[in-house]
Amino acid sequence: MRNVVIYVMAGLSGFVVMSFELLGGRMLAPWFGSGIYVWGSIITIFMTALAIGYLLGGRLSVHQPSLTRYASLFIFAALLLAPLITYADTLLEWTFNAVADERYGSLLAATLLFAPGTVLLGMISPYSVRLLVEDADHSGAVAGVLYFVSTLGSALGTLLTSFYFVLWFQMNTIVIAMSAMLALLAVLGYLTDRASR
């Protein structure tokens, strides 16, 4: 049961990452447009933040790894991303006025809005591997299943957000829903850790 919970948490974290990445385009569009520069900025920041998260998550996972610490990554990510509904417009307006070039303005805006939360979400995959691997002989198989689940979650997050969520809900509603999902996953992780002791 513990391992199933970890796979579910990792898969849904991928879902949330891609949902926020697509929402990033919608948030930046009124200020910087929706051209190649904006999407290039968003993709660059998300990929860079994930890369940093992978590195930090791998290092963190070697120091007394636990499901409770793993769950903490989710709650901290939720706490960083949920406030976007209150400060995103103010930050975007400031960035728009401070940086005239739409390339660098969109790059700065994407960094300030999404990099901190995405770094935390990036830490989840390597930490998941550490919690799931029980012996070195099966580490490749475990990592393969984990990345399958995580990438499938990312694909579903992309599809559902772009095809449905943005049509059915306002952007702030989606931000709150994704942040709430992260918080609920954290609770699931905490409860599972307690039950498995």
Closest CA to 55 of 155, 127, 163, 6: 127
Give the whole-angstrom CA distance, residue 56 versus residue 196: 26
**Residue 65: is its pLDDT beyond 80?**
yes
**Residue 73: is its pLDDT beyond 80?**
yes
Give the whole-angstrom CA distance, residue 113 versus residue 80: 9
Q: What is the predicted pLDDT for the residue at 194?
A: 87
Question: Can you tell me the mean pLDDT for 93-121?
Answer: 93
Q: What is the predicted pLDDT for the residue at 190?
A: 93
Question: Can you tell me the mean pLDDT for 79-88?
Answer: 92
pTM of the predicted model, to two decimals?
0.91
Give the whole-angstrom CA distance, residue 56 versus residue 69: 14
What is 78-119 written as a DSSP string?
Answer: HHHHTTHHHHHHHHHHHHHHH--SHHHHHHHHHHHHHHHHHH
Give the whole-angstrom CA distance, residue 66 versus residue 127: 9
Question: Can you tell me the mean pLDDT for 12-24?
Answer: 95
**Residue 153: is its pLDDT beyond 90?**
yes
* 138 or 158, which is more confident: 158
Q: What is the predicted pLDDT for the residue at 9?
A: 94
Burial (CB count <10 Å: 0-12, 13-18, 19+), residue 98 = exposed
Query: Domains, the chain, ranges and CATH?
Result: 2-195 (1.20.1250.20)
Instruction: Work out the pLDDT band at 97, boundaries 50, 70, 90.
Output: very high
Q: What is the predicted pLDDT for the residue at 197?
A: 72
Question: Can you tell me the mean pLDDT for 58-63?
Answer: 90
Distance of CA 39 to the CA centre of its chain: 17
